[in-house]
Structure 1
Amino acid sequence: MTAIPPLSAPGPISNDDFAALRQTRMADPDAVGRAFAGRTRRPVVRGDSRLMIIAADHPARGALGVGTDPMAMADRYDLLQRMATALSRPGVDGVLGTPDIIDDLALLGLLDDKIVVGSMNRGGLRGAAFEMDDRYTAYDVPAMTRDGLDFAKVLVRFDLDDPGTVATMEATARAVDAAAAAKLPIMLEPFLSRRVDGKIVNDLSADAVINSVAMAAGLGGSSAYSWMKLPVVDDMERVMASTTLPTLLLGGDPSGDPETVYASWKSALALPGVHGLTVGRTLLYPHDGDVVSAVDTATALVHG
């Protein structure tokens, strides 16, 4: 196992800040609501109409690993420090997370003038016997409207050999309906998936991604507020030709040469319909520990 390197520079959250966060969590739970009520909001789309979103909804589905380190994201204080560093960088538009992380960031005062994306998460925990039971277990649309969040996100996996997939499709359709009724943009992150030697594997061929896009885009009674969140795969031109929905690219678990990853993002960002990146582990846990450099490189690709 290769340990994830520490941050290359001190982050913006002090030990006193973390102590205050713990005290507030214990003694004043209503402070969470006050933090959201006092948050300065911004339009989802402005300026160049491109978005750079930092993602951190992995822990809530039991996915703490980065690369070969299975517990890289286990230290919540380290994760928050990395996120605070990323959110402090010019051109970072927002953050995606489950309520536990978003509430922490709100209490730390880090969400002003940022797009906040609520992850509805999935019940199918990594490695569980019920992994493909992707009912939604975190945010719902009423909770996001209560807190004034700006965007919703769902992950929807289609396993054509698993009869439970139809329940996931129905739950996603209802989530899309609720988001449209609330005029809340919602990212759909679709995959064609299957079990291989007992593990769930996403098919990242262009044909599979195109099929997953087609199935996800048709969920719900309106696509007015639907976006796509898609992996960067070979033949992205064909993938992007399969939808008119605005699309953000995801980063996935970092592997391989960073320069190759950045080059693939740059190429995909030039395609019609692509409006930015939603990336987590690749930027928060870079191979050299330099979150600032990794985030700035990705932001330059998005905003130019």
Structure 2
Amino acid sequence: MALTTRRRALTTLAAGLAGSVALPAYAQAGEDRHRPRPLWRAHAHNDYLHPRPLLDALDHRFGSVEADIYLVDGQLLVAHDPVELDPARTLESLYLNPLAARVKANGGSVYRGHRRPLQLLIDIKTEGAATYLELDRRLRRYRHLFTTYSRGRVRPGAVTAVISGDRAARVPMEAQSERRAFYDGRLLDLLAPVPAPASFIPLVSDNWTLNFTWQGVGTFPEAERQKLRSIVSTAHSRGQRVRFWATPDLAGPARDAVWGELLAADADHLNTDDLAGLEAFLDARGRS
């Protein structure tokens, strides 16, 4: 076979294989398979309920994970409900120690070759002030792991801890001149006469069902679409990110429609318990 003919045949074969095999978006874009594109918008809600907390989310390239904590006898236990509390499932064992080990192995980042911090959303389920003060003591043991705030300056780390849940945590946090955690605001914080800066509230989260009637079926009402875009625009103008929880999470057209509108509005995080589902959705659209 002539060289030119052989090259043409190989090119045709390669094209046929590419058309028959669905490659991940990062592979289609020629990205290093060993350093796949992290999905910074992907938020693992109730992450600790997966078979391998944290690790499953990282395998699916998520940029944000959520852990609920309870202060019990001086320990910070991770669980969704009190009946599920297990002394072996601590914040350190499920999240802090594995993150520290991974960052050390990766030369200072959660995703090798990507310096953007992973978001660790910590949802406080017991009384906020006391739980936060204990959490603050734990975070200080990992001094090189977390993004810090010190006297008006934010120094990025491999992981940014954001505190949600019981609102009483805000008082001791605002009193600190140095922190290794930040506060998860609500939409009311966007309307405050003197809004807190992004150095305290980098994230604004709220319940989708309390703010929008649309659940992905039919046309998104234009007034609600504009409301969503106004929320995101206002937050972004202040250097803050936006997340909604309680969005539809059953696989199907309704969930895809809501996720699509969130992407179109440039919302920063999509909330899910379905790691593979959100990964596939973002990959199919080439979004991270």
Return the index of the structure with the highest Cα Rg.
2
TM-score (norm. length: structure 1): 0.46
TM-score (norm. length: structure 2): 0.48
